[in-house]
Amino acid sequence: MGRPLDLADVHCLQLPDSPTIAPDGRHVVYVLRTTDADADADRRALWSVRATADGWAAPTPLTRGTADTAPAFSPQGDRVAFLRAGDGPAQLHLLPVDGGEAERVTALPAGAGAAVWSPDGGRIAFTAPVRPETDEHDPVPVTRIGFKADGVGLLRGTRQHLHVLDLATGEVRQLTDGDWDAGRPAWSPDGARLAFAAATDPDADLTHRTPVHVIDAAGGPPRRVGDGLGVAGPVLWTADGEALLVAGQSTVAVGHTGLLLQPRDAAAVARDLAAPLDRTVMPGGPGYPGGLPQLTADGATVVFCVRDRGCSHVYATAVDGSSAPRPVVTGADTVVSGLAVAARADVVAVVLADPATFGEVAVVDLTTGAPTRLTAHTAGSLPDVDLVVPEPRTFTVHDGTEVHGWLLRGPAAGPVPLLVDVHGGPHNAWSPAADPAHAYHQALVAAGWAVLLLNIRGSDGYGHAFFTAAVGAWGTADERDVLDPVDQLVTEGVADPARLALTGYSYGGYLTCWLTGRTDRFAAAIAGGVVADLTSLAGTSDAGEALGLEFGDPVIDPEAVREHSPITHVHRVRTPTLVLHGGADERCPVGQAEQWFTALRTQRVPTELVLFPGGSHLFILDGRPSHRVDYGRRLIDWALRHTTGAGGRSVTGGLFAPGAPGTRVAHPPQERAELP
């Protein structure tokens, strides 16, 4: 019998990511993320694991850097390209896999991006920031939306552009230029061209259109592929070079990312190879699992990730669309992140997470789907910890919609205090996998609580209709998806109705603020990465221009966003609320948190605002380790403080009605009327 996870265990975690696999499928290199508590920083180094005559060897360190990322095997399998950040920005390095020192091969003023090898291994394409020559104190003129970015701040005219490194000469050439950003490049099979996505139109900041382009590797103007009316993400060439596979959408709208087969003919219509699944293709990214789509060794099949009921899985389908997608790696509790396909073997490398592990590197046979785990970093870093396994639950809410999620709880019988945690996005999703960013779930269960994770309307992994069900109706469409399951847990005797707490981050922070303006049933609220005022969010967030799409039109309806803004209803809030926010958040700017806190304080609602200096919107994932631990500790302390001795609270189970603060519409939990 082991001990429960403690928040301080975050400092001990070893988290693998970004696997790359040798062409023969017998050597995997990956990034291992650890924590240097003294430096209050994460460390990243490359690790290696090789196949042997009778299995796989134990993983070993490959580099000694502290910020080594984005490994990529050469086509010959003899070298690995990777990024290393030292005293300056990250630069490309090459490392022989059979021994030797890493060699730096770029020295660009603003650094380089992840390596994409040419088919012959003689060149590397990558994106890199291109900055105008300005002083940091110079005024910053702005003519287009998109002048800042979360985690960066003011861009000052910096743009990402394609570059090609010739390994024989060491020459780096910039291929693209202009007031737009180039996406990740992809080499054509003959190495003569590069494809990439870029929003090159002068009004792209208003239309959001991001077409695919092709450019000659020797230089020249980029040429648009397809009708250019959609949103393209990562691009991949077909083996014959006649078409492109694109993770994207054929139109600009809230909806699933598909796997589009786009012929190079500009007039041809793209076909979504993943459409039969009615699921989102997941190319991966910060806070989102999945991996880049890739071809198998014969070029006839494309391997990709989708999200299904909170988990991310691997599928494969014929490039020509002749067969339906088939599952490769699935499972009701399996989350895949990182995807690397061997160039000359039917093997893929992935990172698999589940309720018992925070993620382990595995190789999977594409023919059988059988995984072989190569690492045991969770057990190695936390050998005496027993993780709580979430219990899957499905709730039928007021209108017959099924809401899926997970309940974490200990062995204690009888009603216990309950924390409801709302995910962000709004189109992200909870999974049952062990979650390093939300270690407070495990710690609260150890303290005798239950934790409820719900994939409410708008969550990814439940079909297009569910994904878009809250468009134009944030808060009103999904509030009962939170409240009705709580009613059911109270009825079941699982949750104590007087000791309920609510939390969430980003969109979850929005819904936390919204719900406390709609009901007083929660004894405590903890709102993180807050959205309080949609009107100001639209004009101050680095992604604010997309808010109009969430309300059904590229042009924002001011009355709709006013009505759906928590700040409009803040006069009704009585719930003690802790507000936690990154001090440098540009996605949900810190003014949102300040506005909510100030409104609560002036109404004498018990409240506290905690700002994490330098913290971006993603600081709970990759910020200072001390900040991540502190976030969880403050959340737990607030929940305990405001639920201890709360047995005498008056709980109606109703929703506030239009009118004076405190006026409620009270209904029995199972018979609550339609919302006003």
Q: Which residues lie below 8 Å from residue 492, measured CB to CB, with a gap of 6+?
A: none
Q: List the domain range (segments joined by +) for residue 424.
A: 391-646
Confidence check: pLDDT of 659 > 60: no
The answer on pLDDT for 672 being more than 50 is no
Please give the mean pLDDT across all residues of the chain. Answer: 94
Residue 670 in this model has a pLDDT that exceeds 70: no
- Span 330-357, mean pLDDT? 97
CB 377 within 8 A of CB 16: yes
Question: Is residue 91 within 8 Å of residue 65, measured between CB atoms?
Answer: no
- Mean pLDDT for 207-219 is 96
CATH number at residue 597: 3.40.50.1820
- Contact between 315 and 321 under an 8 Å Cβ cutoff? The reply is no
- Tell me whether residue 422 is in a domain: yes
- In the chain, the percentage of residues whose pLDDT exceeds 90 is 89
Asked if residue 268 has pLDDT above 90, the reply is: no
- Rounded CA-CA distance 582/616 in Å is 5
Provide the pLDDT for residue 654.
Answer: 66
Please indicate, yes or no, if residue 525 is contained in any of the structural domains.
yes
Q: What is the mean pLDDT of residues 255-277?
A: 91
- pLDDT over 50 (residue 339): yes
Closest-CA residue to 195 (of 211, 172, 179): 211
pLDDT single digits (tens) 373-412:
999 999 999 999 999 999 999 999 999 999 999 999 999 8
Q: Is the pLDDT of residue 582 over 90?
A: yes
pLDDT for 668 equals 32
In a domain, 502, yes or no: yes
Instruction: Confirm if 15 and 32 have CB atoms less than 8 A apart.
Output: yes
The answer as to whether 614 is a domain residue is yes
pLDDT recorded at residue 86? 85
pLDDT higher than threshold 80 for residue 671: no
Write out pLDDT tens, residues 1-29: 799 999 999 999 999 999 999 999 999 99
For the stretch 223-252, pLDDT in tens is 999 998 999 999 999 999 999 999 999 999
Mean pLDDT, residues 640-644:
96
291-306: average pLDDT: 98
CA separation for the pair 477, 123 (Å, rounded): 51
Structure confidence by residue, pLDDT tens digits, 435-473: 999 999 999 999 999 999 999 999 999 999 999 999 999
Closest Cα to residue 621, out of 631, 609, 607? 631
Is 514 part of any domain?
yes
**In the predicted structure, residue 302 carries a pLDDT above the cut 50:** yes
Residues 513-555 pLDDT 10s: 999 999 999 999 999 999 999 999 999 999 998 898 998 776 7
| Predicted confidence band of residue 648 (pLDDT cuts 50, 70, 90) | very low
178 in the Ramachandran plot: left (φ > 0), alpha (ψ -120 to 50) or beta? left
Q: Is pLDDT at 269 greater than 90 in this prediction?
A: no
- pLDDT at 674 (0 to 100): 27
Residue 86 lies in a domain: no
| Residue 356 domain-assigned (yes or no) | no
- The answer to whether residue 663 scores a pLDDT higher than 50 is no
What DSSP letter does each residue of 409-442 carry, written as one string?
A: --S--S-EEEEEEE-STTT----SS--GGGTHHH
**Which of these, 247, 236, 341, lies nearest to 288 by C-alpha position?**
247
Count of domains for the chain? 1
> According to the model, what pLDDT value does residue 554 have?
64
CA atoms of 363 and 51, how far apart (whole Å): 11
- What pTM was estimated for this model as a whole? 0.95
**pLDDT on residue 662:** 39
- Considering the domain boundaries, does residue 165 fall inside one? no
Q: What is the pLDDT of residues 562-572, one digit of tens each?
A: 999 999 999 99
**Tens digits of residue pLDDT in 360-382:** 999 999 999 999 999 999 999 99
* pLDDT bracket for residue 656 (50, 70, 90): low
